[in-house]
Structure 1
Amino acid sequence: METPFTPPLPGGTWRLGDSTVTRFGYGAMQLAGPWVMGPPADHDGALAVLREAVGLGITHIDTSDAYGPRVTNQLIREALHPYPESLFIATKVGATRDAQGGWPTARRPEDLRKQVHENLDSLGVEALDLVNMRMGDAQGPRPDSIAEAFETLVALQQEGLIRHLGVSNVTAEQVAEARGIAPVVCVQNMYNLAHRHDDDLVDHLAADGIAYVPFFPLGGFTPLQSEALSRVASRLGATPMSVALAWLMRRSPNILLIPGTSSTAHLRENIAGAGLALSDEDMAELDGVGRA
């Protein structure tokens, strides 16, 4: 029986710490229930999406024990453990969940140690590939010092529980502060075609070989809407969301995409969309969306 041909993923690869990962990755947040709380409505379907992602060659999966909570990590373990050697799983700490579905911060040293051990347990690993230190709150970054929280993760890294460190939901100043303490391999912030506040940071990190991982690449709970985006999509015979992913993929070589979905068909659509060829004219037209 012939093995089905799987085309290469768009964007190629990026060196994330000591690992090479596909620039097109997968974010597991949407595998949890509504508002990222509770189990998925289709448990087997969630497992199928994870297996499809790895089967298509994706080597970068993003998760957090706060999703569910514990739901997405347990699904990843059930679907993929023992993990392929090539698979790189990134997680994050710094927030928990309350009964109302909120995201209260939890950044005291004892909180962070507890969260790291919970991630280790739910994923079934002895060391986490990457832990992002999540700052700010649900409304975005806040100008607080990252030092105490990041130093806690550095100590856990020195204990052999974490391989690489990143930061999430941060200001450029917090990135610089963290980098002054220990090496940072990625920054994970909200960024997409319409939200361009990190343009300078993306370029600065690219020059230093540090990955930038945009969350909500398609707008999150408020999907992207733009006349220019719709025009380019119509011209290319593509969906606006495909064009938005393709724009990110071309925006900078250090951008790693982690769009989430709970559908294997949608996963394949996202991959195809990210591989859409945009001309210089398309890019110039789209470039005006977030700068208006």
Structure 2
Amino acid sequence: MASIAKTFRLGGDLEITRLGYGAMRIVGKGVWGEPADREAMKAVLRRAVELGVNFIDTADSYGPTISEELIGQALAPYKPGVVIATKSGLARTGPDVWVPLGRPEYLIQQVELSLRRLKLQQIDLWQLHRIDPKVPVEESLGAVKKLQEQGKIRHVGLSEVSVEQIKQARKVIEIVSVQNLYNIADRKSEAVLEYCHNEGLAFIPWFPVAAGKLTQPGGKLDVFAQRHGITLSQLSIAWLLHRSPVILPIPGTSSVQHLEENMKAADVQLSDAEWREVEAIAGQR
């Protein structure tokens, strides 16, 4: 059984825990507005760091602004080694409404506001949340490159992109990560993962815990997980960690109990034969 690396060097210089925390769920319903209890959300963030997580992913559009505010209030000044990743490029007009907006002046403004809310001098990983079809990516990322040269951004990543879009972006600026939807039940981004694996880019799967028919209670994956004394969530996350050493899962939750459960996924150990069994079950969709 191959040992699974617990850390990844993001951009070649930031040693981070491969199992991070995604801060989308610490805001209101529809990723909009205030959470029911701000202090409880701060407690989740602090507990994540206590558990050894040093990679926290957010976006200016979560709330909007609220997730970043809570991170800054809960964690700044940051413990040495903690890496905060954020994103810009999606405007919000209401609950569950996401509008690509990649105009250079907008992205510059949003980076400045993110720095203020997160209480940072430099964003360790800034990601273009979506490529705006109305704006050439060269223009969007050209503005970001200037911010990087000014020291306001350390590393740059992309979100929800194809292999061709990554290649196009890399002609403008160095890209260190890609964040796409990916889990054991939804592998439409397989080609992007393979590209990242081969190029040594971090692959950050959002929605890392699988849902749908494959993961129904009492289903074959659920039965497998129960047989091994783990939850389906833990199995989903552990599978991602096993799938490729460049994968950095960022499961999100608004519950300390669920957070602690998710973090135990890093300790799941299955034999190669058992992982093949998981793959066989997943292939029966």
Task: Note whether the superposition's TM-score is higher than 0.5.
Answer: yes
Residue 201 of structure 1 deviates from its aligned partner by: 2.5
C-alpha contact 2:89 2:131 (8 A) present in aligned 1: no
Aligned to 1:26: 21
2:6 aligned partner, one-letter code: G
Please give the root-mean-square deviation of Cα atoms over the aligned residues, in Å. 2.2
Counterpart residue type for residue 15 of structure 1: R
Q: Is the 8 A contact 1:65 1:122 kept in 2?
A: no
Describe how 1:1-12 pairs up with structure 2 within 5 A: 11-12=5-6
Aligned-partner Cα distance in 1 for 2:135–2:108: 20
SS state at 2:237 partner: helix
Instruction: Provide the rounded CA distance (Å) in 1 between the counterparts of 2:109 and 2:134.
Output: 25
**Contact 1:195 1:290 (C-alpha < 8 Å) held by counterparts:** no
- Confirm or deny that 1:86 pairs with 2:73: no
One of 220, 233, 237 as aligned partner of 2:229: 237
1:31 aligned counterpart, secondary structure: coil
Match of 1:15 in 2: 9
Instruction: Establish whether residue 217 from structure 1 lines up as the match of residue 208 from structure 2.
Output: yes
Deviations 1:5-61 (A, max 9, x none): xxxxx8411001221101011111110111111111122111111111111111100
SS in 2 for 1:102: coil
Taking the aligned partners of 1:181 and 1:290, their CA distance within structure 2 comes to: 38
Partners of 1:68 and 1:224 in 2: how far apart?
Answer: 31
Percentage identity across paired residues of the two chains: 41
Q: Secondary structure at 2:85's aligned position in 1? A: strand
Greater shift, 184-193 or 109-118, is seen at: 109-118
Partner of 1:6: none
Which residues in structure 2 correspond to 1:66-215 (within 5 Å)? 66-135=61-130, 146-215=137-206
Note closer, same or farther for the CA distance 1:144–1:241 as it changes in structure 2 (3 Å cut): farther
Q: Which stretch shows the higher mean deviation, 157-166 or 211-220?
A: 211-220
TM-score by length of 2: 0.90
1:39-54, aligned counterparts within 5 Å? Answer: 39-54=34-49
Once residues 165 and 283 of structure 2 are traced to their aligned partners in structure 1, the CA distance between those partners, rounded to angstroms, is 23
> Cα distance 1:19–1:168, how it changes in 2: closer, same or farther (>3 A)?
same
User: Of residues 274, 280, 284 in structure 2, which corresponds to 1:282?
Assistant: 274
| Pairs aligned (count) | 278
Q: Which amino acid aligns with 1:229?
A: L
TM-score, L = length of structure 1 = 0.88
1:225-248 CA-partner distances (Å, limit 9, x unpaired) = 263422321321222111111100
